[in-house]
Amino acid sequence: MTEQTVQDRIAQEIKDNDVVLYMKGTPVFPQCGFSAAVVQVLNQLGVKFHGVNVLDDPALRQGIKDFTNWPTIPQLYVKGEFVGGCDIVREMAQSGELQDTLKQKGVEMENAA
């Protein structure tokens, strides 16, 4: 895929899915501790999300970093907006901010407190 099609693919993907996690490995079998940590946060809240394994596609692995000008993976998007990587997501989940953001954006949480 050319650079532009990768960027278009990402734009479409985060438009079509409420919650998208670009990660190393899959939600069932994460292949990096940071990706696993974000999966765990989302699972605990009972949020349905679309996991995309960047290890399947080198162009995507680089492309997602360029897309948001963010150097690391995982990257979490909610309703088309970049929320953060592992550190930010964990910090926001601890403070309750993540839950507020999801609620505000109308994302369903099965285990919301």
Partner 1 sequence: MAIQAHEIEKLIKEGISDATVQIHDMAGDGEHYAVYVTSPAFEGKSRVQQHQMVYQALQGRMGEELHALALQTAVPKS
Residues that bind partner 1 (CB under 8 A): 34, 65, 69-72, 82-85, 87-88, 91-92
Residue number, 71 or 106, with CB nearest to partner 1: 71
β-strand partners of 21: 51, 76
Give least dist CB 100 to partner 1, A.
13
Is residue 79 exposed (0-12), middle (13-18) or buried (19+ Cβ within 10 Å)? Answer: middle
- What is the nearest approach in angstroms of partner 1 to the Cβ of residue 39? 17
Q: Sign of dihedral through CA atoms 52, 1, 63, 14?
A: negative
Mutual orientation of helices 3-16 and 58-68 as an angle, nearest 10°?
Answer: 70
User: Cβ closer to partner 1: 63 or 85?
Assistant: 85
Quote the CA–CA distance of 29 and 17 in Å, as a whole number: 21
We find the least distance from the C-beta atom of residue 66 to partner 1, in angstroms, to be 12
32 or 109: CB nearest partner 1: 32
> H or E segment at 20?
strand 19-23
**CB nearer to partner 1: pick between 107 and 111:** 107
Smallest distance, Å, CB 99 to partner 1? 15
